[in-house]
Amino acid sequence: MAFTEGEVYRCPDPECGCEITVTKGAAPGQGGDQNPTCRCGLPMERVH
């Protein structure tokens, strides 16, 4: 599924604390279908 505007992704490492908010979603079928990678190297998790 493509990124959707307003989604929040957070690094699972509590010592890192990095978080991003999607401000412009990807068009369907145009990428944005994998979780972003944090600067520390871990895959970020979508906050529900």
| Nearest C-alpha neighbor of 36 from the set 25, 44, 28 | 44
Q: Give residue-wise pLDDT tens across range 10-43.
A: 999 999 989 999 999 888 777 767 889 999 999 9
Query: Does residue 2 register a pLDDT over 90?
Result: no
Do the Cβ atoms of 2 and 33 come closer than 8 Å? yes
Distance between CA atoms of residues 14 and 24, nearest Å: 26
Say what the pTM is: 0.81
